Amino acid sequence: MLDHCYSGIYKGFLSDNRIAARLESCLSDLLSSGTAVINQLAKTHTLKTAFYRMLSNTRLDHDDILEGGYRLCSASTNANKHVLCIQDTTEFNYRGIKNKLGELDPNIGPTGNKTIPGFFCHPMLVVNAESSSIQGLSSVIIYNRQWNQKDKRERNYGRLPIQEKESYRWIRSAELSKDRIAETTMMTIIGDRESDIYEEFVVVPDQRTHIL
């Protein structure tokens, strides 16, 4: 079943079918091995080399990889009457290799601790409300702050449009999920108190979408 999970998901979507086949193989091995470490999930040195070359290929980026996951999630929710869409934010920090990272990298910036480099990830996990089985990810927003970013007072943060605030990720994730989950499925979007945003309660709910 794991070998079949990603079979054909990327074919036709990615411009190179060889990259698509290699990516499907890599993700299948990731699921069956339970690790995301290439050196551990690759069964042979040849596979390890192939996976590293694939990930460094300029014709493949993280959005391409995520798109396959969204397709799987969308397909798996077709038969669901009700799903729970659970969102939260986590950070990936590079405390251990801080001195190896330059501040010019546009994809890396300060994390919760302003001296530690890294980035933030905001996923939406979809769960069947009746069986509690995981259906997949309907949205993943990856972002980072800038080293020279002004503080909230300097930016007059309270007067910025919601679309220019970090908190917009809660709304954006919900909107993307509504587009990717079957229209016949009822959704309950769940977040912690950080997602208690007026604009979210105005924009997101509709006849099939609820917020908790």
CATH code: domain of residue 160? 3.90.350.10
- Same domain, yes or no, for 1 and 105? no
49 domain-assigned: yes
Question: What CATH number corresponds to the domain at position 28?
Answer: 1.10.246
Residues 15, 36: Cα–Cα separation, whole Å: 25
205 and 158 part of one domain = yes
| Of 114, 115, 140, nearest in space to 125 by CA | 140
pLDDT beyond 50 at 119: yes
104 falls within a domain: yes
Domains in the chain, number:
2
pLDDT at 131 over 60: yes
Specify whether 165 is located in the same domain as 141: yes
**Using one digit for the tens of pLDDT, what is the confidence trace for 83-93?**
999 999 999 99
Tell whether 32 and 79 lie within a shared domain. no
Whether 202 maps to a domain, the answer reads yes
Mean pLDDT of 201-207: 95
Average model confidence (pLDDT) across the chain: 89
What tokens does 201 get?
A: 């309660």
Of the pLDDT bands very low, low, confident and very high (cuts 50, 70, 90), residue 206 is: very high
- Domain containing 140: what range? 75-211
- In the prediction, which pLDDT does 144 show? 93
In a domain, 155, yes or no: yes
Greater pLDDT, 157 or 28: 28
Mean per-residue pLDDT, 58-85: 90
For residues 129 and 207, state if they share a domain: yes
> Given this model, what pLDDT does residue 51 score?
94
Q: What percent of the chain has pLDDT over 90?
A: 60
Q: Are residues 93 and 53 in the same domain?
A: no
At 96-110, the pLDDT tens digits run 888 887 677 888 999
Within this chain, do residues 12 and 45 fall inside the same structural domain, yes or no? yes
Q: Based on the fold, state whether residues 144 and 84 are members of the same structural domain.
A: yes
84 and 32 in a single domain? The answer is no
One domain for residues 40 and 131: no
Same domain assignment for residues 159 and 192: yes
pLDDT digits 0-9 by tens, 165-203: 999 999 999 999 999 998 778 999 999 999 999 999 999
pLDDT at 5: 73
Mean pLDDT, residues 107-121 taken together: 90
At residue 25, φ and ψ (nearest 5 deg) are: -65, -40
Task: Give yes or no for a contact between 103 and 23, defined as CB atoms under 8 angstroms apart.
Answer: no
